[in-house]
A and B are shown apart, each in its own frame.
Chain A
Amino acid sequence: MTILAFAGGVLAATWRMATPLIFASVGEVFAERSGVINLGLEGIMLLGAFGAYAVTFYTGSLWLGVLAALAIGLLLGLLFALFTVTIKANQIVVGVALNLVGSGVSGFLFRSIFLNSDFPSLNIVSFNNMSIPILSRIPFIGPVLFQTNMLVYLTVFLVPLASFLLYKTSFGLSVRTVGEHPKAADTMGVSVSRIRYVCVVAGSMLAAVGGASLTLAFANQFVEDMVSGRGFIALAAVVFGAWSPWGATGASLLFGAFYALQLRVQAMNNVLLPYQFLQVLPYVATILALVSIRNRAQSPKALGVPYQS
């Protein structure tokens, strides 16, 4: 295979592999900018993936599956916000609990509903690639950028929208202030709780959609632990991207590239490295990314601290 073809293949896969990370990390940018760190992204993505799978399985409709994921994200986000914003419990511990619950519930329901059943096939339909006319015929760039599925295309709209909301609207101003100096916001009549609830729920819903993209747009079935740490990688993307939507997206693309690389090389049989060395790449890359940012002065000052009004 030529180098060019190889590179093209990797790039095409990069955006696709980055999509779940983009959804989850952009959502988490809002949550963290408002001062809440959601370590339960992994569990939310998993439940989003499962919920989308189950609904699509039974209804045959992909968009209902996405809707299901949004609903799950909404519920889990409310739960998380309830514990961290209202009850003011330790955000890290609640996140860990959410992960445990997420993996437990998805595994439990998958086994009792699907594995113990006698469905002929556990596969579902999935989003097909849609080629954008004309643009997809551009050599090299065409297949990379303009021949993918709906959920991936959605990220194109998501990121600028998120950036606009955060930096150009009154809401975004409130969010940023709540994350840095909640008392200042409080004394101006901004409800710190409400802003945090909105951001956490929005982040959770996006993460759930990110999880759904795994079952609806890549694999067309559900596998236990299919999220495999992407929730945590999304958290690292937020840090590496300096808490901005574009930055988090850039970081997600970088991590996506490692996943893509791993897949492509694995597909080539004449490689000396055992596949585990590639499997491990995204995780090592994440650690290196976290280590490379020395100046952590950019994190929102009130991050992780419950607000006592």
Chain B
Amino acid sequence: MPVVAFFVALAVGAVILLAAHFNPLLAYQAMYEGAFADFRSFTEVLLGATPLICIGAGLAVAFRCGVWNIGGEGQFYVGAVAGTAIGIYFQMLPGWILLPSVLIGGVVGGGLWAMLAGYLKGRFGANEVVTTVMLNYVAIIGTGYLVSGPMIEPGGRYPQTVQIARSAWLPQILPPTRLNIGFVIALLLALALYLLIFRSSTGYAIRAVGINPEAARYAGIKVNRNILLAMAISGGAAGLGGAMQIAGVTYRLFEQISPGFGFTAIAVSLLVNNNPLGVILSGILFGGLSTGSRLMQMNVGVPSVLVNIIQGLVVLSVVAFGAYRALTIEHEE
């Protein structure tokens, strides 16, 4: 089903391309080549997939708990900020302490940011879609403030920080490509979250709350606590992605640190029915779309934001198929 949904989205995208006087076949071909034609591009795909897998796996946990965390973007930012701060202000620490601290800082930052929304939902019934989106803006604006103010590089002309300490950089695993160990960490994270959701008792509780909070409560499961936990995990995963983006790719913090990873990750998770293992493949797929779209823009002139449209279409497509299937297995009243 995900495969069909994806191709339906591509088909509709082709129609839009035609309407804008582009040749869809050329466009998609360029996209494919840009992503998978040679090994180096492929490592770029994996590099781009890393944040998507991190955030996406976290979203899978949240969505399974019935919490609509649209704040992956903001949680990513907060994680990046936390990671950068540790990487800069604690650089006197030896690498084997500093690097893990950067990553843990990212997890904690993102986790707390998400827990805020989770708490507001549990205590005040505040709609988490609206609160997480609002927190996105706060995080992004806050980051903008930090990189042009307190954290700006000395003598700064550009709104960005200094680089974090060299000892905190994620080691590259396949030089001369940019691919770093963050990708492996993302894979392990996805695996861990998969085991959590489907094999652990915590995951059972989270799933129960997501499907039927009343029955969960009756069974003695603490609903609000699980919502908070799911948000913490979700935000922590996104924050980890943010910290790894700093420690592995950009090495410093600036305003547009994410081109919308948090939103793409929503499509990533929904495409595979919120399964963290599936997120790995889905993340690579969307990473491919993104990387490939750069070549597509260069060679064929199609704006790379086409990818955003395809993301949205994928979600619509998945939703349509899922609902169609649900309708045809109607139960009697």
> Interface with B: A130-138, A143-151, A200-208, A290-298, which one?
A290-298
Given contacts A83-B319, A229-B133, A287-B126, contact A88 B303 (CB under 8 A): no
Q: Is the CB of B323 within 8 A of A236?
A: no
Cα-based distance from A89 to B135 in the complex (angstroms): 27
Q: Which residues of A contact B142 (CB under 8 A)?
A: 276, 280
B41 within 8 A of partner (CB): no
Q: In whole Å, how far is B231's beta carbon from the nearest beta carbon of chain A?
A: 15
Closest to A111 in B: B303
Q: Which residues of A contact B326 (CB under 8 A)?
A: 88
Q: Is the CB of A93 within 8 A of B270?
A: yes
Q: Which of B130, B131, B309, B327 contacts A105 (CB under 8 A)?
A: B309
A91-114 CB contact bits vs B (8 Å, 1 = yes)?
011111111111111011101110
Cα-based distance from A93 to B326 in the complex (angstroms): 15
Given contacts A105-B16, A107-B303, A108-B306, contact A280 B270 (CB under 8 A): no
A191 within 8 A of partner (CB): no
B2 within 8 A of partner (CB): no
Most chain A beta-carbon contacts within 10 A, residue among B267, B323, B326: B323
Q: Is the CB of A97 within 8 A of B316?
A: yes
Q: Which of B141, B266, B311 contacts A279 (CB under 8 A)?
A: B141
Given contacts A83-B316, A93-B270, A290-B127, contact A274 B149 (CB under 8 A): yes
- Chain B contributes a number of interface residues (CB within 8 A of A) equal to 49
A117 within 8 A of partner (CB): no
B320 within 8 A of partner (CB): yes
B198 within 8 A of partner (CB): no
Chain A 182-234 residues near chain B, CB threshold 8 A: 228-229, 232
Q: Is the CB of A92 within 8 A of B68?
A: yes
Q: Which residues of A contact B124 (CB under 8 A)?
A: 290-291, 293-294
- Chain A contributes a number of interface residues (CB within 8 A of B) equal to 49
Q: Which of A93, A102, A107 contacts B319 (CB under 8 A)?
A: A93
Q: Which residues of B contact A276 (CB under 8 A)?
A: 141-142, 144-145
Closest to B320 in A: A87
Given contacts A100-B311, A108-B305, A283-B137, contact A290 B130 (CB under 8 A): yes
Given contacts A104-B311, A104-B312, A105-B309, contact A229 B137 (CB under 8 A): yes
B120 within 8 A of partner (CB): yes
Cα-based distance from A43 to B309 in the complex (angstroms): 11
Cα-based distance from A101 to B267 in the complex (angstroms): 11
Given contacts A229-B137, A296-B125, contact A100 B312 (CB under 8 A): yes
Q: In whole Å, how far is A40's beta carbon from the nearest beta carbon of chain B?
A: 10
Q: Which of B16, B126, B301, B312 contacts A116 (CB under 8 A)?
A: B301
Cα-based distance from A107 to B263 in the complex (angstroms): 15
Q: Is the CB of B319 within 8 A of A90?
A: yes
Cα-based distance from A274 to B151 in the complex (angstroms): 14
Q: Which residues of A contact B270 (CB under 8 A)?
A: 93
Q: Is the CB of B20 within 8 A of A89?
A: no
Cα-based distance from A107 to B313 in the complex (angstroms): 15
A235 within 8 A of partner (CB): yes
Q: Is the CB of A229 within 8 A of B129?
A: no
A280-309 CB contact bits vs B (8 Å, 1 = yes)?
100110110011011010000000000010
Q: Which residues of B contact A279 (CB under 8 A)?
A: 141
A277 within 8 A of partner (CB): yes
Most chain B beta-carbon contacts within 10 A, residue among A95, A105, A228, A294: A105
B302 within 8 A of partner (CB): yes
Q: Which residues of A contact B316 (CB under 8 A)?
A: 83, 94, 97-98, 101
Q: Which residues of A contact B30 (CB under 8 A)?
A: none
Could you write out 26 A-B pairs with CB less than 8 Å apart? A87-B320, A87-B323, A87-B324, A89-B320, A89-B322, A92-B129, A93-B319, A97-B315, A97-B319, A101-B316, A104-B307, A104-B309, A104-B312, A107-B305, A108-B303, A232-B133, A232-B134, A274-B149, A276-B142, A286-B130, A287-B120, A287-B134, A290-B130, A291-B124, A293-B124, A296-B125
Known: A105-B16, A235-B130, A290-B127; 14 extra A-B contacts, CB below 8 A, are: A89-B322, A90-B319, A90-B323, A92-B68, A98-B316, A100-B309, A102-B312, A104-B306, A105-B309, A107-B308, A232-B134, A277-B145, A287-B126, A296-B125
